[in-house]
Amino acid sequence: MSELFQPEAQWQRLPSRYRNARRIRTGLGWLILTIAATVPLWIFLDWRWALALAVVGLGITVWQVIRVNRWVSRFGYAEREADLLITRGLWMRDLTAIPYGRMLAVNVNSGPIDRLLGLAQLELVTASIQSDATIPGLGQSEAAALRDRLIAAGEAQALPL
């Protein structure tokens, strides 16, 4: 079934150092969630319940961190002649195609963890909120270059809104 999401194109993968950034972010997020759920339970109910919840939460955290590797290796994007393809997801998989002519803007964002690792996030804005086209981790120079290529392609093939 995986060939469904791999049409012939020049598929680009995310840089491997993005895995670390995503691991840190995922681990921290789930850890904070676990603590936030455990502490009130400890205070108001019982330490045994809190312990059980903490074990479950830590389990989920570890599982999510392990999953990052597979998620990142499944993510791919491809610049085709007239559109950008993005495929992602482990369970819910999708393949989004955004015509260059429909792009209103291309944003490059970089958070603190990203900046530490020299990464940036590229976000395509169309008139539809559902499009949700984001390439979560790219090298900063690469992100800028891709942004400029996308904008140039969008200007060349602008479609009327």
Binding site for another protein (CB under 8 A): 1, 4-5, 7, 82-83, 91-99, 101-102, 126-131, 133, 157, 159-161
Identify which of residues 112 and 160 has a Cβ nearer to another protein in the complex.
160
Identify which of residues 19 and 67 has a Cβ nearer to another protein in the complex.
67
Give dist(CA 114, CA 25) in Å, integer: 10
Give dist(CA 90, CA 69) in Å, integer: 11
To another protein, the closest distance from the beta carbon of 75 in angstroms equals 15
Identify which of residues 140 and 157 has a Cβ nearer to another protein in the complex.
157
Locus of tokens 């389990």: 59
Is 64 buried (19+), middle (13-18) or exposed (0-12) by CB count in 10 A?
middle
DSSP 114-150: HHHTTEEEEEEE-S-STT-EEEEEEEHHHHHHHHHHH
To another protein, the closest distance from the beta carbon of 61 in angstroms equals 23
To another protein, the closest distance from the beta carbon of 7 in angstroms equals 6
Identify which of residues 64 and 110 has a Cβ nearer to another protein in the complex.
64
To another protein, the closest distance from the beta carbon of 90 in angstroms equals 9
Q: Which two tokens stand for residue 28?
A: 């921290």
